[in-house]
Structure 1
């Protein structure tokens, strides 16, 4: 039998296939937009409409977030993942078979619905099955699989455009291939263990204990760590069960509202580093500094590989270095990179020096540095941090709200970037330069470190941590400290089932029927 942490990691990787769909859609669209047969099929040169085709996926993701949370809370995390996989496949079919721009738009929107659902569900599920010491690693796999999707999309699209540049296959094959990762999500999600925290909040204690043991102790329900974790989880869920489980628990509670605000700030900040503008419009970006369209697409494909190494670095290091330092350092480096890129891009603009081959290569090089920093420090943590700071009672709904911020800010960038480059040119990069530095300042001031802490202690931790974090003087903990404490508590627990207190709090299983939508 696999070691517990390996088993939970593999479960997290399966859920993270939802990110592959997102990364693939992010990566493929820049190639599709310039395919001659696709241009002929959509039959429009309206920049606004082209921008809307790009960003309609994100609009769909925005509208998919809340339904995902409601399905996950009512029917389980696994069921919601299955539904999301099915919705995405509908969108993939529409895009692949499209004969006009309206069908392309509809397909992108439906694919976006599925992606929006999975953007909520995958990190939600990953955080709820993880050991406290490995939660960052597990949740960071979401961005890693996003990177894999972008790489696969880039090389498939680049390859067919080299061999069949003017044929329909140049864009239909890449769009069709995106459905492959959705098939196992649709058909095999039932093989995953259910979230023990969802089972607990539904009053299914014995199943929650069995699942915890399966995830964290090779099925041994008497394992000290499992027993300590179970007791802590049950105590916290008992507190939450006594509250009114409606949206008012988010908007009527200052601590929950503060955490939602942090999640929204973080997701908006990600887009303001410029990552999506570069990803969506790679051909425009690299052509502007002297490269041909073919070379520009090749550069983008190589940069996707570069990003994957950054994402791997995050997976390996995030539970050692934490969340706060990478967010601050990564944004400082991002702002610095765009400052250099702006100066180089200016040389190629009308009125500039005309730009040299060396300056073009320098521009590409600095964007490679930026992309590595983003992938190692910013992108993965935008999924890790928000989902781990909420309690079980509101995690689904609150995560949906923070994901909606990710999609709407991404939509904004996708929609305005074509016009911004048309009207502002190189000056558009100044926005990302400034935002990199202001992001770093925001994280330094507001965001406390969450490394190693259990999900059940986050409410107390945020209540006791002053909003001005540098002055809060909160003692850091090691990645394994909480696990050791839970094991000690479990060693002294004589009996952990049944719990009459939580059964009473859950009103004999009727608790979830009183949730307010």
Structure 2
């Protein structure tokens, strides 16, 4: 039998395949939009139809926005696993429509349906990962979502780049890359039932015995008497019992100041991610790199290499996030992102005013590689880690849907306005991302408390006692080892109390029988 943390990590990776779909769609569209046969088939002119091209890109994000709430409703009603299965099926419908597209309307519909599936998985994968994770590695498990997103972008980039080199003017240059996106959705559709169910979902459904056995399977090789498992179980049981006394509707979010504060933090974080400029570079890589003197083919190659660079950054986040926490990487990563765009803006201006040379073009690429690494190591993964771990079980599905909707609508905004901005204000567009990098860092420094090492069940109490101005809050950092020891001690105490109670009941029953016999 696999070690518990390895088994849980593999379960999280399976769920994270949903992010591969998102990453693939993010990565593939920049190649599709410059394929001559695609432009001819759907009758698009890159200059005259810039607004419509932006809408094709962003329609996937509009679909993701629409898919977020249904995902939370299905997950709460029918289980996290069932919702993942449904999302995989919806995405495949979108993939078929895109691959077979013969006009603008079909490609738009395909992107929208694929977005529905992606929006559902953007809620479900981090939700499921956080609920099965051991507190000491919750950040690592949830950060795999961004890592698999990076894998999807890499696969998309190299497939599209390869067919562009061999069949640049053929339908294969865009139909093959679009068709391949359905591959990761197949196991999500047919194999999700092999995953263990979320123990917290089982608990809120009153299936406590199943929840205990699932916790034991995830964290103790199936040993239901393990002290840590027992401690975690009793903590979940107490929290769910407390939440059962509350209104379970959407009003639980909007009428509770702490829940609203946490939703606001999630929305701020998701908007801040897009305002670093990541999607503008990802979606329109061909335009961005061609603007500093590179050919279309070289621009696509640069983008493919930058995707590998991003994956290395995402791996660094997975390995370090539970050691360094969430707060410091968000602050430092945004400062570095703003600094990189300041340099990129100055270099891009040289080309826009008719100057610019090869060295400056290479410098522009180099600074965007630094930016992409910083984003992937410090910002992107944490945009999925932080929001989902701060909510309690009663509202986690619904609240995560709201924060994901913020991710999609802000992404939609960038996808829609970027081609217009690049066409009209060129290098000045990068100034927006320069400023936002620094304002993001200030926001995180002021508002966002550290969540590393804390259990999901203690987040409510932690946020209620933590002042909104975080630098002035008096909260000591949490040691994950100490937290594990505390949960194990609670488990032993509960087991000891339960055993003493059982002995007392048995002794009382025995004395009662003796008295009756006498």
**Quick check: TM above 0.5?**
yes
Contact 1:231 1:496 in 2 (8 A): no
The ranges of structure 1 where at least 4 consecutive aligned residues each deviate by more than 3 angstroms after the TM superposition are 495-498
Contact 1:307 1:372 in 2 (8 A): yes
Aligned to 1:317, which of 306, 315, 320? 320
Could you say which residue in structure 1 is the equivalent of 2:361?
Answer: 360
Tell me how far apart the structure 1 counterparts of residues 39 and 185 of structure 2 sit (CA, whole Å). Answer: 27
Could you say which residue in structure 2 is the equivalent of 1:375?
Answer: 376
Could you say which residue in structure 2 is the equivalent of 1:142?
Answer: 145
Q: What's the CA shift for 1:495? A: 7.0
Tell me how far apart the structure 1 counterparts of residues 287 and 55 of structure 2 sit (CA, whole Å). Answer: 16
Could you say which residue in structure 2 is the equivalent of 1:490?
Answer: 491
Contact 1:200 1:237 in 2 (8 A): yes
**Residues 108-127 of structure 1 aligned to structure 2 (within 5 Å):** 108-127=111-130
Aligned to 2:107, which of 104, 108, 132? 104
Contact 1:62 1:404 in 2 (8 A): yes
**Residues 215-294 of structure 1 aligned to structure 2 (within 5 Å):** 215-294=218-297
CA offsets 1:471-493 (integer angstroms, 9 cap, x no match): 00210012332111101111222
The secondary structure found in structure 2 opposite 1:347 is helix
Aligned to 1:178, which of 158, 181, 195? 181
Q: What's the CA shift for 1:42? A: 1.1
Could you say which residue in structure 2 is the equivalent of 1:6?
Answer: 6
CA offsets 1:46-78 (integer angstroms, 9 cap, x no match): 111110000000000000000000000000000
Tell me how far apart the structure 1 counterparts of residues 416 and 497 of structure 2 sit (CA, whole Å). Answer: 54
Contact 1:213 1:223 in 2 (8 A): yes
Residues 289 and 235 (structure 1), Cα distance of their counterparts in 2 relative to 1, 3 Å cut: same
The two structures, once aligned, show a CA RMSD in angstroms of 1.0
Tell me how far apart the structure 2 counterparts of residues 461 and 42 of structure 1 sit (CA, whole Å). Answer: 53
The secondary structure found in structure 2 opposite 1:13 is helix
Q: In the alignment, is residue 166 of structure 1 matched against residue 172 of structure 2?
A: no
Tell me how far apart the structure 2 counterparts of residues 480 and 133 of structure 1 sit (CA, whole Å). Answer: 8
Could you say which residue in structure 2 is the equivalent of 1:435?
Answer: 436
Contact 1:452 1:481 in 2 (8 A): no
Q: In the alignment, is residue 211 of structure 1 matched against residue 203 of structure 2?
A: no
Could you say which residue in structure 1 is the equivalent of 2:398?
Answer: 397
Q: TM-score with structure 1 length normalisation?
A: 0.95
CA offsets 1:461-511 (integer angstroms, 9 cap, x no match): 00000000000021001233211110111122227999xxxxxxxxxxxxx
Contact 1:227 1:496 in 2 (8 A): no
Tell me how far apart the structure 1 counterparts of residues 495 and 117 of structure 2 sit (CA, whole Å). Answer: 45
CA offsets 1:370-426 (integer angstroms, 9 cap, x no match): 000000000000000000000000000000000000000000000000000111100
Could you say which residue in structure 2 is the equivalent of 1:410?
Answer: 411
Could you say which residue in structure 1 is the equivalent of 2:466?
Answer: 465
Could you say which residue in structure 2 is the equivalent of 1:93?
Answer: 96
CA offsets 1:234-271 (integer angstroms, 9 cap, x no match): 00000001101011000000000000000000000000
Contact 1:271 1:409 in 2 (8 A): yes
CA offsets 1:185-238 (integer angstroms, 9 cap, x no match): 000000000000000000000000000000000000000000000000000000
Residues 497 and 176 (structure 1), Cα distance of their counterparts in 2 relative to 1, 3 Å cut: farther
Tell me how far apart the structure 1 counterparts of residues 152 and 187 of structure 2 sit (CA, whole Å). Answer: 15
**Which sections of structure 1, spanning at least 5 residues, go unmatched?**
499-517
Size of the aligned set, in residue pairs, is: 496
The secondary structure found in structure 2 opposite 1:492 is helix
The secondary structure found in structure 1 opposite 2:454 is coil
The secondary structure found in structure 1 opposite 2:213 is helix
Q: What's the CA shift for 1:179? A: 0.2
